[in-house]
Amino acid sequence: MNIPAIEDTEQDPSRQELLSFHVGLQEYSIDIISVREIRSWTEATPLPHAPPYVRGVINLRGTVLPIIDLAKRLAIPAGEKTDRNVIVVVQSGDNTVGLLVDAVSDIFTVSDSELQAPPDMSSDGSLKCVRALTIYEDRMLRVLDLAAVLPQPDSEAA
Amino acid sequence: MADIDPMAEIRASFFIECEELLESLQDGLTAMDDGDFDSETINVCFRAVHSIKGGAGAFGLEALVRFAHRFETVMDEIRNGRLEPTRDTISLFFRGADVLFDLVRASRDDESLDDATVELILVDLEALVGARLAEEEAEEAEGADFTPMSLSLDPIDGDDHSGFALMDLDAPLDDPAIPPTSSAPAGFKIAFHPAAELFASGNEPRHMLAALRDFGEPHITCDLSNLPDLTGLVPEQGVVGWHITLETSARKEEIAEVFEFVDGLCELSIEATGSAPALPDLESIDLENIVIPGPRPDDDTPPQDATPEPAPATPPSASSPPAPAKSKDKSTGSAKATVRVDLDRIERLVNLVGELVINQAMLSQSITEAGVPTNSAVGSGLEEFLQLTRDIQESVMMIRAQPVKSLFQRMSRIIRESSAMVGKSVRFVTEGEQTEIDKTVLERLADPLTHMVRNAVDHGLENTDGRLAAGKSADGIVTLTAAHKSGRVVLEVKDDGSGINRERVKQIAEDKGLIPPGVQMQDQEIDNLLFLPGFSTATEVSDLSGRGVGMDVVRSAIQALGGRVTITSEPGSGTTFSISLPLTLAVLDGMVVETGGETLVVPLGSIAETLTLTAADIEQLGADTTLVRIREEFVPILDLAVELGFRTPLEGYEGRSVLLITSEDNSRTALVVDRIVEQRQVVIKGLQESYGRVAGIAAATILGNGRIALILDPTDLIASAGSSGPHSAQPFAIAG
């Protein structure tokens, strides 16, 4: 259904398609270009000495995929664990990780002019992960900065 | 990987070929260094440089062409027997080969090399020839008036100081069966008219004409008599021919060999000229057994009547090496047939086979869970499947395996350079060059090995005076060996120096605060101090040390490959560093264990033994430390689940399983787990690329149930437990 929209974004670089999902009671979104696939929740193997938001690793068709619990990463209360919980497999640069979210909700298109910068609240570390805010069907949507969400291999090593 | 420029591809394969050629050049030089001056050996070297030059020319790599050309010219002097291959000459050639290697690399990576170094070596090289040529010119002038009465029969040692020897340049050196008399300038008249098929089959007349130059200076005239009018010209039709007069001592077969590949694709006639009247009809005579003895009547050189030797020469044996011209065309005659495959494709195959192994394990598990008896048809079929999977896996691993030879050759260069730098004379001995290791391992070994080899030269060996005083030969010996031992590859770097000065090592470690002063230590423990970060024994900083890289880096590089380094040292007779490596980075023999609700894999190689704890074995020491008594020894207990943060410490460890881990420094630790599940091969999946390094964890694998299990790095785990955990006071952490 979204084929025209995709063409739109290709023709008009100022328009982008976003995938939105629920984390706890809030709604977040990411650029759909970075989404590789969406899969159902499988139990992850925990990693020792990992930060709390790293749930562990799962087997994604033979590769090791780290899973980030987005609720923990953003330091917001997670919603109830249901079987609608999904892993959004995203790629940012050379990194591929799975984001654990409560449920995927929508795909929509916005133009750059519809995005506004988040308020500067540097005291709240989780805000660094939010790149922009936008309004869609009268709801506030937070657009994530993927690179900021992903663990940096070097700094996380310890 | 979108559009691959076909030229880039050809260029890439040229550089791969260069590596092979450089390798054979090294081989040849090494053989010459060992006293093998067989003409074929010399030819191999010459051909390697020549082929590199040829290829480089095609790609317009000028710096490479220029160097290769001049290098080749000097080599040609040896080939022609004009230059004596002394040890100095060969060592200069080695340096030349090194520069050639650098130039190839630089051309490949589009970098430029310091012209000065290149020029320096060329000057040295050409000084050899220059001296030679000057000498020869002088001799020639001197020798113009007399006729030498005899000639050296040995073509290699043919450093014959006669004017005549100069005329003999183009005699094929590799056939000593030809008596020198035959070199009296006979010749051939060759008519060569390529047919259309010759061009259609991709042959190039130019190369053949050029190949004739190996026999003598050809006078080539183009025969355009068949040239039609422009209107009648069929471009595919061969219309041009050549008449060649060649002054040579070579036999007719040798000339004919040049045209061997185009037999039937051209009109060819080879007629002998200037031969002795005694042999009027060369065509009808068995040339195998007869060599043309006569001088050309119209030759400038005085005829060599002194040695007429009518030539019932020994027939060239069938096994004699091929004439240079021929072998030049077929650069690798008898080499095994090989296929060049892109590494990515192999990588993909390896991954797929990895998947197959996992899949097979999952299938076995679900069949077992379904309650199918093992003696059923399905069970035995599965058994065969298992066997097949293993075989496939092994074969695939073999594809990636490569002999360590190329690595050893690089080390020989390191030895040359570093020995020159510290002014020690070093003999480099290698053993087991054909031992094969996974290509990835091989590549990643280069740096640590370089460092160890340098160390052996710099720190291991005494200087010449020291050696002589100790009653040793002046030349230090560094030995590099490779061998397969019980499923692993063991590399050894051995020097015959004075061994580790343990007093000094300990003193330095104390001075640098690496160990508390006055501690009693065993020899082995002192040796292991070398691996401590921040340790360097060089009191005076030589050119080689002070690079900021210590043995600790070497050790961690080896450990990253799943390997271990150990030192053995004998005062007065030398030090040996052994590197033990897994055959491949892709599979691992592991023990699957469960602890704290998680499944983990412990590399089998690190486990000395396993046992189950009884209450009698367990002893408390102080508040936090639990020891287990194993025979007469007390070993500290480390709870794996606690260490990895899976649970809090248990009240008692009775009934748990223990894996006894022996570290490199021979200290032992008892790793406690809940249960040992099984022993099996697991496919290693990197964790580092997707997540980053995790302390105590080497990698991950996928189990039969499709879940990921972590593979432990016990040494790292124990070391980090020692430094950060509650057991930090334990001595086992010293060299961990």
A153 close to B (CB below 8 A): yes
Angstrom distance (rounded) from CA B725 to CA B639: 11
A93 close to B (CB below 8 A): no
- Taking only the tens place, the pLDDT of each residue in A29-78 is 999 999 999 988 888 899 988 888 899 999 887 788 999 998 888 888 87
Angstrom distance (rounded) from CA B579 to CA B567: 9
Give pLDDT, residue B351: 76
Give pLDDT, residue A7: 46
With 90 as the cut, is the pLDDT of residue B343 above it?
no
With 80 as the cut, is the pLDDT of residue B244 above it?
yes
The mean pLDDT value for B635-647 works out to 88
B358 close to A (CB below 8 A): yes
- Taking only the tens place, the pLDDT of each residue in B438-455 is 888 888 888 889 888 888
Q: Where are the beta strands (DSSP E) in B625-720?
A: 625-630, 633-639, 657-662, 668-673, 675-683, 697-702, 708-712
Angstrom distance (rounded) from CA B289 to CA B312: 6
- Per domain, the residue ranges of chain B are 6-143, 175-329, 343-386, 404-582, 587-733
Label the pairing between strands B218-223 and B241-248: antiparallel
The mean pLDDT value for B593-619 works out to 87
With 50 as the cut, is the pLDDT of residue B505 above it?
yes
Give pLDDT, residue A20: 92
With 70 as the cut, is the pLDDT of residue B356 above it?
yes
Lookup result for tokens 């500067």:
A120
Q: Tell me which of B117 and B371 has the higher pLDDT.
A: B371
Averaged confidence pLDDT in chain B: 74
Q: Tell me which of B728 and A100 has the higher pLDDT.
A: A100
Give pLDDT, residue B629: 86
Q: Alpha-carbon dihedral of residues B368, B370, B373, B378, nearest 10 degrees?
A: -80
Fold of A3-149: OB fold (Dihydrolipoamide Acetyltransferase, E2P) (2.40.50)
Q: Where are the beta strands (DSSP E) in A48-126?
A: 54-60, 63-69, 86-92, 95-101, 103-111
- Taking only the tens place, the pLDDT of each residue in B416-442 is 888 888 888 888 999 998 888 888 888
The mean pLDDT value for B374-400 works out to 82
A96 close to B (CB below 8 A): yes
With 50 as the cut, is the pLDDT of residue B159 above it?
no
Fold of B587-733: OB fold (Dihydrolipoamide Acetyltransferase, E2P) (2.40.50)
B544 confidence band (pLDDT: 50, 70, 90): very low
A121 confidence band (pLDDT: 50, 70, 90): low
Give pLDDT, residue B656: 87
Alpha carbons within 13 A on the beta-carbon side of B435: 24
- Taking only the tens place, the pLDDT of each residue in B284-300 is 444 444 444 444 444 44
CATH code of domain B404-582: 3.30.565.10
Give pLDDT, residue B291: 46
Closest-approach residue (CA) in chain A for B351? A62
Under 8 Å CB pairs connecting chains A and B tally to: 77
Averaged confidence pLDDT in chain A: 80
Give pLDDT, residue B423: 85
Q: Tell me which of B162 and B203 has the higher pLDDT.
A: B203
Angstrom distance (rounded) from CA B201 to CA B565: 56
Query: Beta-carbon neighbour count of residue A112 at 10 Å?
Result: 12
Cβ within 8 Å of A, B 286-325: none
Contacts of B693 in chain A (CB under 8 A): 153, 157
- The winner for highest mean pLDDT among B163-172, B349-358, B501-510 is B501-510
Alpha-carbon separation of residue B723 from B130, B698, B730 (angstroms): 65, 18, 9
Q: Which CATH number fits domain B6-143: 3.40.1170.10, 1.20.120.160, 1.10.3720.10, 1.10.287.3510?
A: 1.20.120.160
Secondary structure class of B6 (helix, strand, coil): helix
Taking CB atoms and an 8 Å limit, are A64 and B708 in contact across chains?
yes
- The winner for highest mean pLDDT among B219-223, B476-480, B633-637 is B476-480
A90 confidence band (pLDDT: 50, 70, 90): very high
Angstrom distance (rounded) from CA B274 to CA B298: 8
Give pLDDT, residue B666: 66
A85 close to B (CB below 8 A): no
With 50 as the cut, is the pLDDT of residue A142 above it?
yes
- Per domain, the residue ranges of chain A are 3-149
Do the domains spanning B404-582 and B587-733 agree at the CATH topology level?
no
Give pLDDT, residue A30: 92
- The winner for highest mean pLDDT among A76-85, A149-158, B516-525, B547-556 is B516-525
By mean pLDDT, which of B8-12, B232-236, B408-412 is the weakest?
B232-236
Q: Tell me which of B461 and B85 has the higher pLDDT.
A: B461
| Burial B480-507, CB ≥16 within 10 A → b, else e | bbbeeeeebbbbbbbbbbbbbebeebbe
Q: Tell me which of B543 and B456 has the higher pLDDT.
A: B456
Give pLDDT, residue B157: 41
The structure tokens listed for B508 are 């330095």
Do residues B339 and A46 lie in contact, with contact meaning Cβ atoms separated by under 8 Å? no
With 90 as the cut, is the pLDDT of residue A88 above it?
yes
Contacts of B596 in chain A (CB under 8 A): none
For residue B351, give how far its alpha carbon lies from the nearest alpha carbon of chain A (Å).
8
Taking CB atoms and an 8 Å limit, are A59 and B693 in contact across chains?
no
Cβ within 8 Å of A, B 681-700: 685-688, 690-697, 700
Secondary structure class of B675 (helix, strand, coil): strand
With 60 as the cut, is the pLDDT of residue B311 above it?
no
B132 confidence band (pLDDT: 50, 70, 90): low
